[in-house]
Amino acid sequence: MRYLATISYDGSLFDGYQIQKKGRTIQGEIQKVLTMINSKNEVIIHASGRTDAKVHALKQKIHFDLDKEFSCDDLKKSVNSLLPEDIYFREIDIVSDSFHARYDVKAKEYIYMINLGEYDPLKQKYIFQYNRRLDVFEIERALKYLEGTHNFKSFSASDDKESYERTIIEAKVIRDIKNIDILTISFLGTGFLRYMVRNMIGTLIEIGEGKRKSEDIIKIIESEDRTKAGPTAKPEGLYLKDVLY
Amino acid sequence: MRYLATISYDGSLFDGYQIQKKGRTIQGEIQKVLTMINSKNEVIIHASGRTDAKVHALKQKIHFDLDKEFSCDDLKKSVNSLLPEDIYFREIDIVSDSFHARYDVKAKEYIYMINLGEYDPLKQKYIFQYNRRLDVFEIERALKYLEGTHNFKSFSASDDKESYERTIIEAKVIRDIKNIDILTISFLGTGFLRYMVRNMIGTLIEIGEGKRKSEDIIKIIESEDRTKAGPTAKPEGLYLKDVLY
């Protein structure tokens, strides 16, 4: 029986999503629990994609097969009672055996949060503490140049070897009316290369600082050269917000 | 030269405010940094009061003496550059030598945050994950019985030996319009006994569950008996919000 689960996690204390020989991973912790529930027959989970160390997820999606059919509510309760406090199964549904959490992705949304106000020691693992002003209007203009189908090689980790073409459906700034110091940048896209969001954010921050102009994005994309874009932003402000099928 | 500092900290990874032989404490981390700045002459800091392990502070106040007069801005920058990421000096002012951060307190505000909605793995160190409904109206009625000058022995840690009389100036519920699942309870008082806020919260939760009535607060106060009140709520939802002089 194949199950699709919507999960949240606090990435702070994880060495990333993907299971490794050493280190605490989201995949490792979940597989341990599901294998226990599956009468110790090993369960492998498949996510919509990996998240890096310290990156959070609000609605990551994973699928997995269990030998038995469980009530989704009961399964959710069992799993959550066994998982560590920083991972949570929000929802479980039964899906067809042909469903695949990675191959069937239609779109994903990432958000990146930046604190432009004073340093906040209670949020340093959840919001990038930039703690200075940025030209948000210029960042908004730059986001429009990132939208569409492009070769995003300039924004990808150098060791990627697949196709670099991706489509960003929407890239926008979300303002928090209650706290104007918090800048949230959202990207909705068909797929993202490794470090792509963090590399775009690093470049957008340089645009907000006035070091680059918004229209420089066009040249950076055309160059297909990682060294032309800005630095990789810290992982702490990044959230996988949702995955659409 | 005597300095008064307003500090914030994330209590998650601390064994409380007060310095101990073993364990990571807020007082310990700050004294290490200030002693370094004070040419290695030991600096002792005095807070408005202690906070327990895992309790956060938004505006805790401390005073300390340094041998030299520093510009408050420069001192703030130096201290923050040397402190760990989970403590931050928000403001430093020079005060008279007779000022005392604990003895001169006029009032303190504590808040306690409770999530009545679904479990949130990203907030479990910052908001108590109750994850069920509570009768907030009944809690609001109970808060009115806590206001005023009373003997709070029923809500204090049993090993306290001083006077148990304290004044709660205002006790209220603060609603978050953006997230109605988050219940914040605020207490403004002239002083608080050890565990007093957490013991009041434990009792208020039982009132919100319907296990007790709001007017039971009167009998609990009159009993001067710790066993008559509810359990001690978890530290994770508690914040020292402000200290007034």
Residues of B in contact with A10 (CB under 8 A): 121-122, 124
Q: Quick check: A122 and B10 CB within 8 A? A: yes
Task: State the number of CA atoms in the 13 A half-sphere of B235 facing the CB.
Answer: 18
Q: Say what the pLDDT of residue B18 is.
A: 96
**pLDDT tier at A159 (50, 70, 90 boundaries)?**
low
Distance CA B124, CA A124 (A): 15
Write out pLDDT tens, residues A66-76: 999 999 999 99
Q: What percent of chain A has pLDDT over 90?
A: 94
Residue ranges and CATH numbers for the domains of chain B are 2-95 (3.30.70.580), 107-244 (3.30.70.660)
Residues of A in contact with B122 (CB under 8 A): 8-10, 56, 58, 86, 126
DSSP H helical ranges for B40-186: 72-82, 136-146
Write out pLDDT tens, residues A98-153: 999 999 999 999 999 999 999 999 999 999 999 999 999 999 999 999 999 999 99
- Which among A79, A122, A241 is the top mutation candidate for probing chain B, defined by the most B β-carbons within 10 Å of its own β-carbon? A122
pLDDT averaged over consecutive 10-residue blocks of chain B (245 residues)?
98 96 96 97 97 98 97 98 98 98 98 98 98 97 98 85 91 90 97 96 98 97 96 97 98
Active-site residue, B52 included: yes
Q: How many CB atoms lie within 10 A of CB B174?
A: 11
Distance CA A216, CA A228 (A): 10
Radius of gyration, alpha carbons of chain B: 19
Q: Nearest-CA neighbor of B13 among A233, A244, A121, A182? A: A121
Q: CA of A118: which chain B residue's CA is closest?
A: B90
Distance CA B150, CA B165 (A): 5
Cβ-contact A121, B12 below 8 angstroms:
no
Q: What percent of chain A has pLDDT over 70?
A: 98
As a whole number, mean pLDDT of residues A191-199 equals: 95
Tokens linked to A199: 């590399």
Helix, strand, or coil (residue A142): helix
Give the nearest partner residue to A121 out of B85, B118, B124, using CB atoms: B85
Cβ-contact A152, A162 below 8 angstroms:
no
Give the nearest partner residue to A90 out of B90, B118, B178, using CB atoms: B118
